[in-house]
Amino acid sequence: MAVESILNRPRSRSTLKAQAPTLPLELQFLILDVVVGEAGSPTIQREPTLQACMSVCRPFYDYLTPIVYKRIVCYSSTHTKEAHGFLSRSPHLLKHVRELSLRKAKESSWMDKGSLVENLLILLSENALEDLSITFTDRRVVWMELRDNIRTALLKATGPGSRLHTLSLVNAEISRNLFDGLSSEIRVLDIRGTTLPFQRHHNFGKVPMSPIPRPQLKVERIALFHSRDVVAHLCNRELDIAFPELKTIDLPSGYPALSADSIEHLIRHAPNLERLRVSVNKGGIWRPLDFNWLTCKGPFKHLEIDHNLTGLASTVLPSLVHSAEAVVSPSKLETVRVVAKRSADQDGTFDFPLALSQWVVSLDLREELRRPCFPNMESIVFDFRELRLPPFGAQVLRKWVAGREAARGSTEELTKFRVEYLL
C-alpha cells in the first residue's frame, strides 16, 4: 500500500497547486511540524499518513520529502521490499536518506544472491548515510558467509570518506578490515554481541608486535557486550590514546561483569571517560556491580542505572548499597541516577509493596553516598515515573519518606547534595 501511494503521488508542478490557498506559509509549516510529530515510527509506513499533506501543494511536498525519507527503518522483509521498491523507482529520493536501520532480517536476506537487503545496502552505500544500524538475526552472522556485494557495501558505508556518525552492528562476526578502516567521523559505536573472526594465535588484550597504524577515532559513546576482542583490537595501535574523545560507555545488559575486560582496555585508551550507563533488562541475572572499582579506581563521574521491575524483588539497589559500603578511598563520583521501570508485559496493576521496597533501599543508598568517601557528590536522582504509580500511592510514598527523614533528623549533612525523586 505504501508503494502504491508513492507511485500515485503527484510529482509535477502541473498537478500541484503553487501554494496553499489561505493560511500564511509560516503557519502552514508550523502545522506540518505537528503532523510529522504525530506520524508515528519513522518507517516507510508513515508516508501514507503524510501523503494527504504532501499532495496539497508544491511547498508542502518540498518541505515534507526530506523529513519523510530521512530515516528508513525496516522491521521485516515486507518493509525492506517496500523501501527498495520506491527507492529504485525514485532514485531522486536517495539524496534525502540519511539513516538506515535493518532489524532482524531473515538469514536468507543476507546470504542469497540478489536479495532485497543486498540491493538496498548497495543502493544506499552510494549515498551519504549518517546513521547505519543493523541488528542481525538470532543466529550469529559470519562475515565470510555474507555475499561479496554486501561486504563491499558495508566497507564503503563505514570506511574513510563516509559521513557516518552512528554505527550499530549487533550480533555478528565482523572482519577486522572493517574496524581497521572505520571513518573518523563516527561518534557513536554500538558493538553489542559483535566479535572478530577466530585466530588460532590471537592473544586477547595483548599488543601485537607491529600495531596497525590508523588515525585516532572520534567516538564519543560506545555500547558493548561480549565485545572484548573488538575493543582490544581497536586499542592495539601505535597511538597511546585510541579514543581521545570517548566520554560514555553503555552496558545494555544485565551482565556488567562480562564487560569488565573491555572497560579496562577503554580506561587505558580514553582519558576523558566520565559516564557509565548500565541497563538491567527483564530476565537478566544481575551480577553485583563493582561500585568500589568504578568509583575509586575508574574515571567515572556519572553513574546511570536503568532496571526493570517484575514481580520479584530487585537486587540492583541493594547491590549498589553493598558496593558503596566497601568504598574506603576518595571517589570521583559526582552524580547517580537510578531509573526503575515496570516490565512492558505487566498489566495495569502494580505491586505497591515492591515499589515501596525501592524507596526503602534508596534511602540507604543516600546515606552511604553522604560519607566522606564521596566528597564530590552533587546529586542523586531516583526516577520512578515509569512505574506509573497511582496518585494515591505516590502521596503515600512521599509522606512515608518525609516521616523517615524527620525521624533521622534534619541536619546540614543530610542536605550535602541534591536528592530528587521523580514520580
pLDDT of residue 4: 32
State residue 206's pLDDT score: 47
**Cell numbers at residue 57, please?**
501543494
Share of the chain above pLDDT 90, in %: 7
Find all residues with CB under 8 Å of 249, minimum gap 6, and list them: 221, 222, 223, 224, 263, 266, 273, 275, 276, 277
What percentage of residues in the chain have a pLDDT greater than 70? Answer: 63
> 239 by DSSP, 3-state: which?
coil
With contact defined as beta carbons under 8 Å apart, do 343 and 358 qualify?
no
pLDDT reported for residue 207: 43
Per-residue cell: 423: 514520580
| pLDDT range class, residue 70, cuts 50, 70, 90 | confident
Instruction: Reply yes or no on whether the pLDDT at 182 is more than 80.
Output: yes
Q: Which pLDDT value is given to residue 13?
A: 41
Average pLDDT over residues 168-178: 89
Q: Is 186 helix (H, G, I), strand (E, B) or coil?
A: coil
> Which DSSP category does 57 fall into?
B
* 188: pLDDT strictly greater than 90: yes
| Listed residue (161, 232, 243) closest to 194, CA to CA | 232
Higher pLDDT, 349 or 148: 148
From CA 252, how far away is CA 282, in angstroms rounded?
Answer: 12
pTM: 0.76
* pLDDT value at 200 more than 60: no
Give residue limits of the domains in the chain: 1-68, 277-423
Whether 135 shows a pLDDT value over 80: the answer reads yes
Burial of 142 (0-12, 13-18, 19+ CB in 10 A): middle
Average pLDDT score over the chain: 73
H and E: helices and strands count for the chain: 15, 15
Phi, psi of 259, deg, nearest 5:
-105, 10
Rounded to 5 degrees, what are φ and ψ at 316? -65, -60
Widest pairwise Cα distance in the chain = 77
Region 13-27: mean pLDDT is: 53
Mean pLDDT of 300-324: 77
* 242-279 residue pLDDT tens: 888 999 988 876 555 556 667 777 888 888 889 988 88
Can you give the pLDDT at residue 10? 40
Q: 292 with 335: CB under 8 angstroms?
A: no
> What's the chain's length in residues?
423
Judge whether residue 72 has pLDDT over 70. yes
Integer Cα distance of 215 and 180 in angstroms? 10
Amino acid identity, residue 378?
E
pLDDT attached to residue 187: 94
Model confidence at 18, pLDDT cuts 50, 70, 90, reads very low
pLDDT tens column, 104-122: 666 666 666 666 777 788 7
Which own/partner contact pairs does 43-52 have at CB distance under 8 Å and 24+ positions apart?
Answer: 43/72, 43/73, 43/74, 43/75, 43/79, 44/2, 44/72, 44/74, 44/79, 44/82, 44/83, 44/86, 45/2, 45/79, 47/2, 47/5, 47/6, 48/1, 48/2, 48/5, 51/5, 51/9
Is residue 17 pLDDT above 50, yes or no?
A: no
Rounded average pLDDT over 42-59: 62
Give pLDDT, residue 242.
82
Check residue 44 and report its DSSP letter. Answer: T
Q: Is the pLDDT of residue 241 over 60?
A: yes
Question: What's the confidence (pLDDT) of residue 166?
Answer: 93
What does the pLDDT read at residue 221? 92
| pLDDT over 70 at 201, yes or no | no
How many other β-carbons are positioned within 10 Å of the β-carbon of residue 406?
A: 9
pLDDT of residue 38: 57
Q: What is the pLDDT of residue 186?
A: 92
Q: Which residue is associated with the grid cell 494527504?
A: 52
User: What average pLDDT score do residues 131-156 get?
Assistant: 83
3-class DSSP state of 333: coil
**Cell triple for 381:** 536522582
pLDDT tier at 286, thresholds 50, 70, 90: low
- Of 82, 151, 395, 144, which Cα lies nearest the Cα of 134? 151
CB 303 within 8 A of CB 336: yes
Order of all β-strands in the sheet with 221-225: 71-74, 99-103, 131-135, 166-170, 188-192, 221-225, 248-251, 275-280, 302-309, 335-342, 379-383, 418-422
CA distances from 48 to 55, 66, 83, 90 (A): 11, 15, 13, 16
Residue 220 pLDDT class (50, 70, 90 cuts):
very high
User: Which residue in 259, 198, 254 sits closest to 223, CA to CA?
Assistant: 259
From 289, 296, 293, 303, select the one nearest 250 (Cα to Cα).
303
In DSSP notation, 345-380 reads T--S---HHHHHHHHHHHHHHHHHHTSTT-TT--EE
